Chain A
Amino acid sequence: MRRFSITAQYQVPFVLMVVITGLFAGFLGMESSGKLVEELGDSLFSQVNTDLYHKVHTFLEGPQQINRINASVIGLGGGIPNKTELIRTFFAQLKEVDSVVSIEYADSTNESFGVVRDNFDVAFAYGESGQQTGHTYELYEINDGMVKYDTQLWSLEKYDVRERSWYKNAVEAKTPTWTEIYPWPNGNVGLDAITVIQLPDGRQSVLDASLTLGKIRTFLSNLKSDKVAQLYILEKDGAIVSGTDIESPVNVISEEIFERNYAAQSGSKFLRAAYTAIIADGGMTSAVGKTHQVTIAGEKSYLFQVTKYTDDYGLELYMLVLVPREVILGRATNAMIVTILLTSAAILISVTISYLISNAITKPIAKFASTIKSFAATGNLPELPVATSKEMSGLIDSFKNMSKKIAAQVQQLKEKETYLAWENEKLHSTLESVGEGVIVVDESQRIMLANKLAATLTGYSIISLKGSRLGDVVHLRREDETVSVDDFVSLALAKKKRLETWTRTTIVAKNGIEVPVFCIASPIVLDSGKLLGCVLVIRDITEEQRIDGAKKELLSIASHQLRTPLSTVKWYAELALGKQAENLRAVQKNALKEIKDTNEGMIELVNTLLSASQFELGVFDIQLERIDIHDLVDDTIQFYRKSITDKKLRVEVEFAKDARYYYCDKKLSGIIIQNLISNAVKYSNNDGRIHVTGARDTKHYEITVFDEGIGIAAQDREKMFSRFYRGDAARKHAPEGTGIGLYIVKSVVERCGGTITFKSNERKGTTFVVRFPAKGMKKTSEKK
């Protein structure tokens, strides 16, 4: 998304506004005459009409409202009209509401009464007819609310209100309505608002409030102060109701006979011309809402509009408003020019102010933005702009605070960076100085770190090692079989335990060079238990193996050289004591026997010494396999069968079912078992018992060898496993021992990850307990 500068965002719309306003003003100028003006005139016309309509409506509603109020008054009185009350109310209403000419009450019992304006509105009269007057209508003068019964204005005998047209109309209509326009006995012409009420006693009452056309004319004349305009109210058929320049809507031919004046024959030239135009337009209904133009000879052109007037009581009239064309256009043009000028001025002012405001807003922001930019680029805090507003001041202050904090944090980060770089350097130097290949992998065995030696051993560069999958670059083999380094590291990760590879493992570099190695996988586990990855240490053991080999060779040669004279003596002595022995004297024979026995002792001593050296030098291998230990014990017992039989020893072997097999080195296990059983046999008294057991639990594999022999004296126990140490009792009991057997056993046991302990009672017997890890022997790198 493209982003615009804040200045552009603010100012561009203003420039556009100025341009659009200019264009608009130009457009208006071009169209200042003609249609647009006429439409504007229309709109003004329509405003005048709407205004007039509301005023006429308020005026014509007056009589209907009076009826409504009086019906309520009757209703409030329990539905039975109170004559005195009503007359007083009627009179008050008549005096108050100018437009109403008479207010009357009549009912179906032929009772009637009411008040009326008389004598050209100067006086008021009260009229009544009914039982009290013998059904003669009598009209009296009223003064100050009091009926002057002594001043009868006129009377009408055998008056029956029910015969009156307004009464009949009301009963027929049932709802509030108007009578037609009709002449009154007093010479007026008017119309009545009539309402029929059903009284609770079964009577029907009619309320009547009337209006004269003269009243409407007066109203219209007062309404239109501007004499240039003409107003007319017509009925649908063109019958004149009222108008500003019409003397009377009716022609009174005699006291009883009158006729309506019609617009077409009106004395008003305006009304005549307008009505002709209306007829030309298709009649009253279709002329409604349009602006018509009429030209009257010797006069100016007029514009007029027809508005239809209706109310809720069925009245349907038409209002005509005529105004000289020049008046309308003049007003319209003036109004328009004023509007345009004002609008233009307003726009110009607003544009100017907006521009200034936007400038005031955007300039500091733009300046501030460039300051921030410079800060971001250099990291140095430049001089900040002076605040031009409260908001800018707040913004700048916040920025100052923020930039100070950032500067402090940047400083901290720089220090940390330096420290980290140093730490990193340290780590790298450490890694490089380590004499082993070191590879650090993450949990998914992707290489994160490797040192130079690891690169040498794998044949890949440090750079290509990083990010590679461990299994893709580290290829381990053991006895010509591929060993999965992935599985090895996975196991360490899964167990969260340090693991070591077996002996005779080699690493095959990219170029095929194979190097003997010893690998250790150490998972990196946080205190929280979370695994970070694993460190794989690959130790090149070429040199160790070479030294190992040299040591072995030395021992082998030494043993050979030592044994050669021993075997020479052995064989010659044996030979001499063989077939030729009969030629020897007893003394010679004995001497030879001594030589032979001593030689045998020497041979055993050399053998033992060599074994001891072998273990001491650590030049022995552990080859783990599943060994039947029970069998091994049986074989050993078999080997000592002769001594066992001679001493009449009872030997019991008791192995738990799951202890028969153990994952160990057969030869080393043999050395341990053979030594322990040999000792048990050697130091047992005649008829003694030897008990050998095998057992295992989840952690350990255990062999015990118990005898009922001479036991170990308390003072000898500490030195039991020392080289060439022999207790006094042992020396006496078996003088031919070398004192090295237990030393060898202890060496072997410990070198194989086990422990050896014993319990002994002097002269009662000894129990040796050898314990190894349950899963199998394990070569430990250091002699304990």
Chain B
Amino acid sequence: MNKKVLIVEDDPALAKVIAMSLEELNCALPIAKTGTEAIKLLDESVPDVVILDLLLPAIDGFEVLRYMRANEKLKEVPVIVLTNYSKETARKETLELGANEFVLKTSIHVNEIPGLVSKYL
């Protein structure tokens, strides 16, 4: 059975390029464009890894992370925060909330994304 990596990204172009970069991993790559959608998908099925942006309409990435860590089923799912939200405290805050990694989008080469994810598969 294929692994599943949930991409939570509100920007469609970015969501697509992330998905494209992960094709080589042969995973199911569902995309959630909002926090609400992400929670809905998470409730439907537990993914193997979540790539999470922080600034999302309505329910933001922090809330999604909080929801996951409070949920028995989702508690252990690895979360890679991949964002351009560069508030000083964001890194600290997300890691404290239980994110496994915090990566600034502009600081990473697209080819590095599969490696980032495969660590947790």
Please state if A570 and B110 are interface contacts (CB–CB under 8 Å). yes
Using Cβ atoms and an 8 Å threshold, which residues of chain A touch B20? 575
List residues of chain A with CB within 8 A of the CB of B85: 556-557, 559-560
Q: How far is the CA of A173 from the CA of B105 in the complex (A)?
A: 154
Is the pair B88, A620 in contact by a Cβ cutoff of 8 Å?
yes
A95 on interface, CB distance cutoff 8 Å: no
- Over the window 12-27 of chain B, the binary record of Cβ atoms lying under 8 Å from chain A Cβ atoms (1 yes, 0 no) is 0110011011000000
- A288: Cβ under 8 A from any B Cβ: no
Within residues 518 to 563 of chain A, which ones have a CB less than 8 A from any CB in chain B?
A: 552-553, 555-557, 559-560, 562-563
**A570 touching B90 in the complex, CB below 8 Å, given contacts A560-B55, A564-B84:** no
Tell yes or no: A574 within 8 A of B by CB: yes
The listed residue with most A CB atoms (<10 A of its CB), out of B21, B83, B87, is B87
**Contact with B21, one of A552, A557, A562, A575 (Cβ below 8 angstroms):** A575
B109 with A621: CB separation less than 8 A: no
Report B's interface with A, CB cutoff 8 A: 11, 13-14, 17-18, 20-21, 54-55, 83-88, 90, 104-106, 109-111
Name the interface residues of A389-446: CB closer than 8 Å to any CB of B: none
Task: Report the minimum CB–CB distance from A614 to chain B (whole Å).
Answer: 8
Whether A568 sits at the interface, judged by CB under 8 Å, is yes
Whether the Cβ atoms of B87 and A567 lie closer than 8 Å is: no
Residue total for A at the interface (Cβ-Cβ under 8 A): 25
A277 within 8 A of B: no
Q: Which of A618-647 contact B (CB under 8 A)?
A: 620-621
**Closest-CB distance, B50 to chain A (whole angstroms):** 19
Closest 5 A/B residue pairs (Cβ): A563-B84, A556-B87, A567-B105, A574-B110, A571-B110
Q: A578 interface residue, CB < 8 Å from B? A: yes
Q: Which residues of A contact B17 (CB under 8 A)?
A: 568, 571-572, 575
A571 near B21: Cβ-Cβ < 8 Å: yes
- What's the Cα separation between A571 and B13 when bound, in Å? 10
Known contacts A560-B55, A574-B111, A575-B21: A566-B106 contact under CB 8 Å: yes
A571: chain B residues at CB < 8 Å are 14, 17-18, 21, 105, 110
Tell me whether A264 is interfacial, beta carbon within 8 Å. no
Contact at B87–A552, with CB atoms within 8 Å?
A: yes
Is there contact, CB below 8 Å, between A553 and B87? yes
A560 lies within 8 A of B14 (CB): no
Q: Is A388 an interface residue (CB 8 A)?
A: no
Tell me the bound Cα distance from A111 to B83 in angstroms.
Answer: 166
What 12 new A-B contacts, CB under 8 Å, besides A560-B55, A560-B85, A575-B20?
A: A556-B85, A559-B84, A560-B54, A563-B86, A564-B84, A567-B105, A568-B13, A571-B18, A572-B17, A574-B109, A607-B106, A621-B88
Is A610 located at the chain interface by the 8 A CB criterion?
yes
Nearest Cβ distance between residue B82 and chain A, in whole angstroms?
9
User: In whole angstroms, what is the CA distance A570 to B13 when docked?
Assistant: 12
Q: Could you list 18 A-B pairs, sorted by A, with CB under 8 Å?
A: A552-B87, A553-B87, A557-B55, A559-B86, A560-B54, A560-B84, A560-B85, A563-B104, A563-B105, A564-B14, A567-B106, A570-B105, A570-B110, A572-B13, A574-B111, A575-B21, A575-B110, A578-B111
Q: Is the CB of A509 closer than 8 A to any CB of chain B?
A: no
Taking the nearest CB of chain B, how far is it from the CB of A583, in angstroms? 15
A552 contacts across to B, CB distance below 8 A: 87-88
Question: Which of A568, A570, A572 is within 8 Å of B11, CB to CB?
Answer: A568
Q: How far is the CB of A387 from chain B (nearest CB, A)?
A: 91
Question: Residue of A at shortest CB range from B111?
Answer: A578
Residue of B nearest to A620 (CB): B88
| Interface set, chain A 99-151, CB cutoff 8 A to B | none
Which single residue of chain A is at the shortest CB-CB distance from B10?
A564
Residues of B within 8 A of A606 (CB): 106
Measured CB to CB, the nearest residue on chain A to B83 is A560
The reply to whether the CB of A651 lies closer than 8 angstroms to some CB of chain B is no
A603 within 8 A of B: yes
**Which of B18, B86, B88, B90 is packed against the most chain A CB atoms within 10 Å?**
B86
Chain A residues with CB below 8 A from B90, complex form: 556
What is the minimal beta-carbon distance from B80 to any residue of chain A, in angstroms? 15
- A578-B86 in contact given A560-B55, A567-B14 (Cβ < 8 Å): no
In the complex, what's the smallest C-beta–C-beta distance from A139 to chain B, in angstroms? 159
List A contacts of B18 (CB < 8 A).
571
Do B106 and A603 touch (CB < 8 A)?
yes
List residues of chain B with CB within 8 A of the CB of A563: 84, 86, 104-106
- Residues of the A chain whose Cβ atoms lie less than 8 Å from the Cβ of B106: 563, 566-567, 570, 603, 606-607
List, in ascending order, chain A residues with CB within 8 A of B11's CB.
Answer: 564, 568
A560–B88 touching, CB < 8 Å: no
**Is A560 a contact partner of B86 (Cβ separation < 8 A)?**
yes
| Closest partner residue, chain A, to B104 (CB atom) | A563
Question: What CA separation (Å) do A557 and B57 show in the bound complex?
Answer: 12
B55: A residues at CB distance < 8 A: 557, 560
Which of B54, B88, B110 touches A578 (beta carbons < 8 Å)?
B110
B69 to chain A, nearest CB (A): 22
Q: Shortest distance in angstroms between B107's beta carbon and chain A's nearest beta carbon?
A: 9
Measured between beta carbons, the chain A residues less than 8 angstroms from B105 are 563-564, 567, 570-571
Would A610 and B86 count as touching, CB distance under 8 A?
A: yes
What's the Cα separation between A139 and B91 when bound, in Å? 164
A607-B104 Cα distance, complex, nearest whole Å: 11
How many angstroms from the CA of A578 to the CA of B17 in the assembled complex?
13
Task: Please indicate the chain B residues that have their CB under 8 angstroms from the CB of A568 in the complex.
Answer: 11, 13-14, 17
Complex CA gap A555/B86 in Å reads 8
How far, in whole Å, are A4 and B99 apart by their CA atoms in the complex? 95
What residues of chain A lie closer than 8 Å to B14, measured between beta carbons?
564, 567-568, 571
CB-CB under 8 A from B54, the residues of chain A are 560
Q: Nearest Cβ distance between residue A779 and chain B, in whole angstroms?
A: 15
Residues of A within 8 A of B13 (CB): 568, 572
Tell me the nearest residue of chain A to B17, going by C-beta: A571
Q: Which of chain A's residues have a CB closer than 8 A to the CB of B111?
A: 574, 578
Q: CA separation between A39 and B110, bound complex, in Å?
A: 148
CA distance A574 to B85 in the complex (A): 21
A610 to B85, CA, bound (A): 12
Q: Once bound together, how far apart are the Cα atoms of A566 and B105, in whole Å?
A: 9
Alpha-carbon distance between A69 and B106 when the two chains are bound, in angstroms: 151
Please report the C-alpha to C-alpha distance between residue A155 and residue B18 in the assembled complex, in whole angstroms: 189
A673 to B11, CA, bound (A): 36
Q: Which residues of B contact A566 (CB under 8 A)?
A: 106
Decide: A567 and B84 in contact? CB cutoff 8 A: yes
Chain B neighbourhood of A572, CB < 8 A: 13, 17, 110
- Which residue in chain A gives the minimum CB-CB distance to B112? A574
| Chain B positions within 8 Å of A560 at CB level | 54-55, 83-86
A298 to B104, CA, bound (A): 163
Contacts of B109 in A (CB 8 A): 574
With A and B bound together, what is the CA distance between A524 and B106 in angstroms?
Answer: 54
Bound together, the chains give a CA A572 to CA B86 distance in angstroms of 21
Q: Which residues from A are CB-within-8-Å of B84?
A: 559-560, 562-564, 567
Q: How far is the CA of A409 from the CA of B11 in the complex (A)?
A: 86
Q: How far is the CA of A603 from the CA of B108 in the complex (A)?
A: 12
Taking the closest CB of chain A, its distance from the CB of B44, in whole angstroms, is 27
Q: Which residues of B contact A620 (CB under 8 A)?
A: 88
- Residues from chain B with a CB closer than 8 A to the CB of A555 are 87
